[in-house]
Structure 1
Amino acid sequence: MGSLKRWEQVLERWQDALIARVFHSDPVELLDSLRGECDNHAVVCSESRVVVPNAYEIELASGVHEELARHTRQLGQSLMDTLARHGEKNGYEWAGPLTVRVTTASHLPNGRYRVSSRAMPHVRADAFPSAAE
């Protein structure tokens, strides 16, 4: 059990380092935004059942997205793993298969990123509808 915990800590440090490298800043802000999006849209169905959205989209400023073009899938997977651990820790039930998609947006209020979510029972990352739909 101890080696599993150490392995999880190594993975979390690697993910934090990847996100910090991508955003040239502390990854805590983005991860907190992602977790907050999940927590803020939790629906308590019963004492033992809390359902949260399963489809998350992180929109990046155009310049940041261009820098990441080769790594967006890896970043999305890393963020999805972090979110999955958060959901497990809180006993959340996903509304469907969990996915995190990293996209670009030309106009963002803070110029860096925006996090959104929705409940989509049947979704794949490559079939995620755009915000315009």
Structure 2
Amino acid sequence: MSAISAVEQALENRWEALWARVFDKEPVELLDALRRECDSNVVVCSETRTVVPNAYDVELADSVHDELTRRGSRVGQALTDSLVRHAERHGYEWAGPLTVHLTRSAHVPNGRYRVASSVMPHVSAEGFQHTST
């Protein structure tokens, strides 16, 4: 690991620890779920090109959504930034512009959150539409 990567990793760990203290453990678990979703949908196109989905839909239970957004924080942007750092560390390339969209859902199976990803080549945060399954 290079010196810059070690510094980035240390900053990432501190950021996650801060989130864990401020918001309990929910955002850290959510970050891990986003990373797992990204990692489990890797497409190796060539020896030098690994592509991952670029549109992430995070469905939050009402109580979790309220907790994460009540302070007026930009949770979606923070999650996006963390996912960008994760992809950079692994050498992933996005299938298009990256977005993480948070929605409120009363139908989240674990009562907390559900993460799904897709490839949307020309997605923008304003144009991302939540579709029910």
For normalisation by structure 2, the TM-score amounts to 0.81
Q: Name the residue aligned to 2:55.
A: 55
Q: Is the 8 A contact 1:43 1:50 kept in 2?
A: yes
Q: State the partner residue of 2:68.
A: 68
Partner of 1:107: 107
1:121: which partner in 2? 121
Evaluate the alpha carbon distance shift between residue 94 and residue 78 of structure 1 in structure 2; reply closer, same or farther with a 3 A threshold: same
**CA contact 2:54–2:96 (8 Å) conserved in 1:** yes
Q: Distance in 1 between matches of 2:63 and 2:107?
A: 11
Tell me the residue number matched to 1:80.
80
Q: Structure 2 vs 1, CA of residues 89 and 7 (structure 1 numbering), >3 Å: closer, same or farther?
A: closer
1:54–1:120 Cα contact (<8 Å) kept: yes
- For 1:83, the aligned partner's letter is L
TM-superposition CA deviations, 1:69-117 (whole Å, max 9, x none)? 4557611111111110111111111001111111111111110011111
Q: Give the structure 1 partner of residue 25 of structure 2.
A: 25
> Number of residues paired by the alignment?
132
CA RMSD after TM alignment: 2.7
SS in structure 1 of the partner of residue 126 of structure 2: helix
| Unaligned ranges ≥5, structure 1 | none
Q: Is the 8 A contact 2:69 2:75 kept in 1?
A: no
TM-score w.r.t. length of structure 1: 0.81
Identity %: 51
Secondary structure in 1 matching 2:86:
helix
